[in-house]
Structure 1
Amino acid sequence: MLLIGLTGSIGMGKSTTAGFFREHGVPVYDADAAVHDLYDVGGAAVGPVGEAFPGVVQGGAVDRELLRQRVLGDPEALKRLNAIVHPLVGADRQTFFAEAKAKGADMVVLDIPLLFETGGHANMDAVVVVSAPAEMQRERVLARPGMTPERFDAILAQQMADAEKRARAHFVVETGQGLDHARAQVTEIVNALRDPDRRPRRPAPVESAAKPGQ
């Protein structure tokens, strides 16, 4: 079973692209959704995160905005948080793998926003980066409720530059040219991954490989 890393900076259209993989019957693991469940009422992360960061648990769930304020710009705090959350996400991901394998999946997509930043790309059979023009990215993100230019810039500062991600990817999905164009690129990627003669070698290269849609 192939492990396909799906990543991209905020506002690039990663969730939409993940949906295109699902249309091909490819199971998708959403790391953000997994963390959300861990932070929700009854989630396994609520207790330990509340102990490490007093005051961030409200109504039995982790308030993600309060937590973000506690760790933003504090590498040590972020390190403590990751030490709590990463093992829990890892266990959840193993369950996902087992279920996908039992269903006969030939590949799975791991939707991980900070795939390169955490070094997770080295464990993937291929990496797909979702990208769009910077102006479009900014417009999309600032249209989100509660988003401000300052917060957007702070998030970008924690993420690898889009150009660097593109250079390290096996495939790039361009979402700035409409849904049909992006969907067609995903179809080509899935076809390439299912063809042993076209499948890229792991890990992801520093220089970009052939990228559908470019």
Structure 2
Amino acid sequence: MTILGLTGSIGMGKSTTAAMFEALGVPVHSADAAVHRLYAGRAAPLVEARFPGTVRGGVVDRAALGARVLGDRQALADLEAIVHPLVREEKGAFLEAARAGGARLAVLDIPLLYETGGEGRVDAVLVVTAPPEVQRARVLARPGMTAEKFEAILASQMPDAEKRTRADFVIDTGEGLEAARAAVRGIVERFGALPGT
């Protein structure tokens, strides 16, 4: 089974691209979705113990937690020490299930793949990209997003140009959904993972 890492900077179209792989029957594991599940489950008591008052009704309040860790390196490191091992555990179980199910290709959607050295844990990397003006418009359309927040997030991520030069595959999501779908299909075919092939 080939493990494909899917990554890209904020607003580049990772979630939409991941859904295209799923539509072709490729198993996909999303790190962000795993964190959401963990914040409503196993991670909640651990987060509350370290950051009292950040859990409401058994679920981590992301805004309250964000306010506690933003700009505090030690707090962020403590949070990562809680969450990352749990996400890795979920990812391991996902890959085991994909292998057991006979999948030829599995996708790991990892927003900070290069920033966390994740390229060493996958067989190939797909970077999604888009022109800067498309990226900016997408991100600023999100609820609660400000230009300042967007710039801060961008500053914390590896530049898009560098990600593209390091990638095995690049899809420009700014070219539209049909072009992206065709590119995804080409990658799936290349790994012999289309149903019936």
Distance 2:3 2:129 in 1: 20
Equivalent residue for 1:74?
72
Equivalent residue for 1:174?
172
Equivalent residue for 2:86?
88
Q: CA deviation at 1:5?
A: 0.2
Instruction: Answer 1 or 2: which has greater helix percent.
Output: 2
Q: What amino acid is the match of 1:112? A: I
Equivalent residue for 2:134?
136
1:107 aligns with 2:114: no
Distance 1:117 1:74 in 2: 18
Q: CA deviation at 1:118?
A: 0.5
Distance 1:150 1:58 in 2: 28
Distance 2:165 2:74 in 1: 30
Distance 1:159 1:66 in 2: 23
* 1:78-112 deviations in Å (ceiling 9; x for gaps): 11111110111111112111211121101100001
Structure 2 residues without counterparts, runs of 5 or longer: none
Q: What amino acid is the match of 1:47? A: P
Count of residue pairs the alignment pairs up: 193
Q: CA deviation at 1:192?
A: 2.4
Q: CA deviation at 1:129?
A: 0.3
* 1:149-185 deviations in Å (ceiling 9; x for gaps): 1111121122111111111100001100110011111
Equivalent residue for 1:22?
22
Deviation >6 Å, runs of 4+: none
* 1:47-79 deviations in Å (ceiling 9; x for gaps): 111111122112221111121222222222111
Q: What amino acid is the match of 2:19? A: G
Structure 1 residues without counterparts, runs of 5 or longer: 196-214
Q: What amino acid is the match of 1:65? A: A
Distance 2:146 2:123 in 1: 36
Distance 1:127 1:29 in 2: 14
Q: What amino acid is the match of 2:6? A: L
TM-score, structure 2 as length reference: 0.94
Give the RMSD, CA atoms, in angstroms: 1.3
Equivalent residue for 2:11?
11
Identity of aligned residues (%): 61
Equivalent residue for 1:2?
2
Q: What amino acid is the match of 1:103? A: G
1:127 aligns with 2:125: yes
Equivalent residue for 2:148?
150
Secondary structure of residue in 2 paired with 1:108? strand
1:118 aligns with 2:116: yes
1:32 aligns with 2:50: no
Q: CA deviation at 1:11?
A: 0.6
